[in-house]
């Protein structure tokens, strides 16, 4: 059936249920692929460059790739549909994985960054899946459908890092470059996600929603939210600052673990640590959402900063303890989750409907671009002051968010 006529021949409720299942499955697959990139990027950067101070360029590249392609992919989705945009993102990630493996074989550091940036572009497409879950959702189920897709990210994000050790064994067995074995799983997962979107995500949820909207003669004024730009700016700052804190420390943790763990146990230690960190980022997000509804958005943003500060305190005082680093990374993920969930809700309710896409796009760009810069600086700080020094410096944005909350609360 042609896509353009799908709106008249399908049960939208059934299409939405199927769409959510497809998107959730795709998030599991792309999460597996992206989890390996997060874990191995810093190690590969340090290995190919020969300087640990440059290890942060890996996370900087992946976040910069996402920042530069988020808006173009969103425009592509509006013009050609979600399936096309998600598929383009997957193709970019597949090319990026191949480039990373080639860079490791040739030992060319700049080429490695190009490959990681392409994987980041793929991740920008993956992030659109949560919005695709709302295209056909009713008001009563929009949050639940969105949460289902977000939760699926947890599964892939936890499983991906745990495949590092078996990936290295498999890669070594077939003669792949050092530290790239796990990318075999990444490539397979991305390829399966691409096939899933191309073959199964039909009809396209956004194109069907647009057709239904054009065919509907009724209009409803839902733009009753008062514009509060100062509060929206604070929400954007809180999201970006919390992301910088999390990304900076997380990006340097694999490199730091390579110094405190036996050489033959590094990939396993990194995989377990990052897997638990990712679970902290996504696993309890529904809990923080409920808290934000019940006790207030700013209160949960502050709770996130308390968790981040606790993580940094443990990392700063127990930098040579593998258990201490593990606990710190879990708390770091939980703090990020609380601040991001509550900050996103605050940004939405402080912005009229007509301005939401623009502000939300700016927020995502600010978040990813700031993390790119922060990751580069984190590598320099790690080389100069060590892991404990990095944790101390990461307290600066935490303090800034707390001071901003005081100012905004007084103004309100």
pLDDT digits (tens, 9 = 90+) for 186-244: 899 999 999 999 999 999 988 887 787 777 644 444 444 578 889 989 999 999 999 99
pLDDT-wise least confident of 1-5, 250-254, 358-362: 1-5
Decide: 341 and 285 in contact? Cβ < 8 Å: yes
Decide: 250 and 329 in contact? Cβ < 8 Å: yes
Q: Which CATH number fits domain 8-217: 1.20.1090.10, 1.20.1250.20, 2.170.190.11, 3.40.50.2300?
A: 1.20.1250.20
User: Which among 242, 224, 264 is positioned nearest to 400, based on CA atoms?
Assistant: 242
Across 284-290, average pLDDT: 80
Say what the pLDDT of residue 140 is: 60
Say what the pLDDT of residue 217 is: 45
Percentage of residues in the chain with pLDDT exceeding 90? 33
* 8-217 against 225-412: fold identical: yes
Task: Give 289-343 pLDDT, tens digit per residue.
Answer: 778 878 888 999 999 999 999 999 999 999 999 899 999 999 999 999 889 888 8
Confidence of residue 412 (pLDDT cuts 50, 70, 90): low
HEC sequence for 362-373: HHHHHHHHHHHH
DSSP 163-181: THHHHHHHHHHTTPPTT-T
Secondary structure of residue 107 in the 3-state scheme: coil
d(CA 66, CA 357): 17
Say what the pLDDT of residue 4 is: 47
Per domain, the residue ranges of the chain are 8-217, 225-412
Higher pLDDT, 9 or 158: 158
Confidence of residue 36 (pLDDT cuts 50, 70, 90): low
Q: Where are the alpha helices (DSSP H) in 163-265?
A: 164-173, 183-200, 205-215, 229-260
Secondary structure of residue 283 in the 3-state scheme: coil
Q: How far is CA 222 from CA 219, 226, 240, 343, in A?
A: 9, 12, 28, 22
Across 106-123, average pLDDT: 92
Across 163-183, average pLDDT: 83
Q: Which CATH number fits domain 225-412: 1.20.1250.20, 3.40.630.10, 1.10.730.10, 2.20.25.190?
A: 1.20.1250.20
d(CA 165, CA 77): 37
Across 60-66, average pLDDT: 84
Higher pLDDT, 349 or 291: 291
Higher pLDDT, 266 or 98: 98
d(CA 19, CA 222): 25
Q: Where are the alpha helices (DSSP H) in 107-182?
A: 109-127, 129-132, 142-162, 164-173
- How much is the pTM? 0.72
């Amino acid at each position: 059936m042609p896509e353009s006529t799908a709106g008249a021949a399908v049960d939208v409720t059934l299409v939405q249920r199927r769409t959510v299942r497809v998107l959730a499955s795709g998030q599991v697959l792309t999460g597996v692929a992206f989890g390996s990139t997060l874990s191995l990027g810093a190690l590969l950067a340090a290995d190919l460059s020969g300087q640990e101070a440059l290890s942060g360029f890996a996370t900087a590249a992946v976040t910069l790739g996402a920042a530069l392609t988020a808006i173009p992919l969103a425009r592509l989705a509006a013009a050609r549909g979600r399936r096309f945009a998600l598929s383009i993102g997957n193709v970019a990630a597949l090319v990026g994985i191949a480039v990373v493996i080639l860079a490791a074989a040739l030992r060319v550091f700049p080429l490695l960054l190009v490959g990681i940036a392409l994987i980041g572009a793929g991740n920008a497409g993956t992030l659109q899946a949560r919005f695709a879950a709302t295209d056909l959702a009713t008001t009563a189920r929009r949050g639940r459908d969105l949460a289902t897709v977000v939760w699926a990210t947890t599964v892939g994000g936890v499983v991906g890092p745990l495949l590092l050790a078996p990936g290295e064994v498999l890669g070594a067995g077939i003669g792949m470059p050092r530290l790239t074995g796990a990318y075999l799983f990444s490539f397979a997962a991305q390829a399966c996600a691409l096939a899933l979107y191309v073959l199964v995500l039909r009809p396209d949820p956004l194109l069907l929603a647009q057709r239904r909207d054009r065919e509907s003669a009724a209009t409803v004024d839902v733009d009753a939210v008062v514009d509060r730009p100062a509060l929206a700016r604070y929400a954007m700052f809180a999201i970006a600052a919390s992301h910088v804190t999390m990304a900076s420390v997380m990006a340097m943790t694999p490199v730091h673990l390579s110094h405190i763990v036996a050489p033959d146990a590094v990939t396993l230690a990194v995989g377990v640590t990052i897997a638990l960190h990712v679970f902290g980022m996504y696993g309890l997000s529904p809990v923080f959402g409920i808290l934000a509804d019940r006790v207030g958005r700013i209160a949960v943003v502050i709770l996130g900063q308390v968790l981040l500060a606790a993580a940094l305190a443990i990392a700063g005082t127990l930098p040579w303890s593998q258990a201490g680093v593990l606990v710190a990374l879990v708390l770091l993920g939980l703090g990020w989750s609380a601040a991001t969930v509550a900050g996103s809700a605050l940004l939405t309710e402080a912005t009229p409907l007509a301005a939401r896409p623009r502000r939300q796009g700016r927020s995502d760009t600010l978040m990813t671009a700031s993390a790119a810069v922060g990751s580069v600086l984190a590598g320099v700080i790690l080389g100069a002051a060590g892991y404990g020094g990095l944790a101390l410096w990461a307290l600066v944005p935490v303090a800034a968010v707390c001071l901003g909350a005081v100012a905004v609360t007084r103004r309100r």
